[in-house]
Amino acid sequence: IETVRLNIGNKDIRGCIGCNYCAEHGKCVFNDIVNETVSQWAETDGVVIGSPVYYANLNGTLRSYLDRLFYSTSRTLNKAMKVGAAVISSRRAGSTSAFDQLNHYFTISAMPIVSSTYWNEVHGFQASDVEEDLEGLQTMRNLGRNMAFLLKAIDAKRAEIPQQEKNYFTSFNHE
């Protein structure tokens, strides 16, 4: 299993403005790391997305990246059956809310979610604190094994992956 690491927390990434440029042009109107990484997403079989927790939320830069990436590629990049794992790092509280937010990107895209022996989280104020979180580190090791297993299982049966139905858009506005 090959890996590519992408750090975006220190990038300048604007949030989605809902202009729908991507619907007409197949890419986001803001030509930055979001458009630059679409090809990596197309080639990958799975992703692990991690975030620190700020006020029970994801890192703002990551949220902007994911909002724009998932929205701008919703018609052009089939993410179904790409494996997704969310990982959260927090000092104390708010981790389950942020964990849930990350998993929403996977579920709306028909991506199987990899779980572990607890929520995929570690605790600590600094990286050295996390090294002392024995339960969190064990959870990460189990997550890695589960992710590897699921990637291999899906690859072995790739020809049998069910076809997705055509997407319908429900609007309750009947004007």
For the stretch 118-141, pLDDT in tens is 999 999 988 899 999 999 999 999
Range with the poorest average pLDDT among 53-57, 62-66, 94-98, 161-165:
161-165
> Would 7 be classed as within a structural domain?
no
What domain range includes position 67? 21-156
Question: How many Cβ atoms sit within 10 Å of the Cβ of residue 101?
Answer: 19
- Tokens at residue 66, please? 């994911």
Question: In which band, very low, low, confident or very high, does the pLDDT at 161 lie, cut at 50, 70 and 90?
Answer: confident
Q: What is the pLDDT of residue 61?
A: 97
Number of structural domains (the chain) is 1
Task: Please check whether residue 13 lies inside any domain of the structure.
Answer: no
Q: Per the domain annotation, does 174 fall within a domain?
A: no
d(CA 67, CA 91): 25
Quick check: 59 and 94 in contact, CB under 8 A?
no
Q: Which CATH number do you get for residue 131?
A: 3.40.50.360
pLDDT at 35: 97
Q: Is residue 54 part of a domain?
A: yes
